[in-house]
Amino acid sequence: MSVDATMPAPVVSAPGTGTGSSSGSSASTATTGIADNFQTFLTLLTTQLKNQNPLDPLDTNQFTQQLVQFAGVEQQLKSNDQLKSLVEIEKSAQSTQALIYVGNTVAVDGSKAQFDKSATWNLTAAKGTNAAVTITNSTGQTAYSGNFTLNQGNASFVWDGKGNDGSQWPPGTYTLTATGKDSSGNSISISTEVQGMVDSVDLTASPPLLSIGGQSYTADKVKRVVRTTTTSSS
């Protein structure tokens, strides 16, 4: 009678501590054993060969299959370890990239900006247009409105917090909307970006978060580092 040559169960259980730990701990121990205790497997395999029935020895193909299966599992686990290292390297690279933005003025997609003494939006028009700009507060009240001539391309709109009647609006979150028309009265699309200086980076978040005017953005939201001609509401 030959010895059963099926090895997965002995390989998994061999490195165990025998302390009767929970199933989660057992799975962790088993994974460590397969990845790091190749010698244990060889010992089990040698023991199996020593104790097989001489009249009915282990089939060569079956023996080879055991070696191939175990080697495949070990290589996969080692690959997982390498992938984990690559992920850590990528996280470090993201942190380094985020730190580069600190102190720089950038533009991110959006229409809401945090106002405190001033607020800046970036306006982009496909061609020159007469733009109607409206700024509202968090409750929807109109704080400012006006018409401005925009050239094709990008221009910054800086608001000093003063309404149309000259009153000063308090700090808070304000939304800018802009609509444009050409000389024939046809509508022209105007996209808006929030512009501000990156004053800090939260490296505890994954990916890191850039703080711009009290709002948080990931680095992939940055569209440009801005140095543009300014169109002021005043």
Strands (E) across 116-214 are located at 119-125, 129-136, 142-150, 153-159, 172-181, 187-188, 190-202, 209-212
13-72 per-position pLDDT tens digit: 333 344 444 444 444 444 454 545 666 766 777 777 777 766 666 666 776 776 777 777
The pLDDT score that the predictor gives to residue 92 is 67
Which residue, chain included where needed, has tokens 């229409």?
111
| Pairing verdict, β 230-232 and 153-159 | parallel
Provide the 8-state DSSP code for 138: T
Report yes or no on whether pTM surpasses 0.75.
no
Q: Looking at the domain 105-232, which fold is it?
A: Immunoglobulin-like (2.60.40)
* 110-124, 181-195, 214-228: range with lowest mean pLDDT: 214-228
- Please give the backbone phi and psi of residue 12, each rounded to the nearest 5 degrees, phi first: -70, -40
Return all residues near 231 (Cβ < 8 A) that are at least 6 apart.
123, 148, 150, 155, 156, 157, 158
Instruction: State the Cα torsion 212-215-219-222 to the nearest 10°.
Output: -70
88-120 per-position pLDDT tens digit: 666 666 667 777 788 888 888 888 888 888 888
Grouping H, G, I as helix, E, B as strand and the rest as coil, residue 115 is: strand
The pLDDT score that the predictor gives to residue 213 is 74
Does position 194 have pLDDT exceeding 90, yes or no? no
Q: How far from chain centre, in Å, is Cα 218?
A: 7
Grouping H, G, I as helix, E, B as strand and the rest as coil, residue 28 is: helix
- Break the chain into its structural domains and give their ranges: 8-100, 105-232
H or E segment to which residue 18 belongs: none
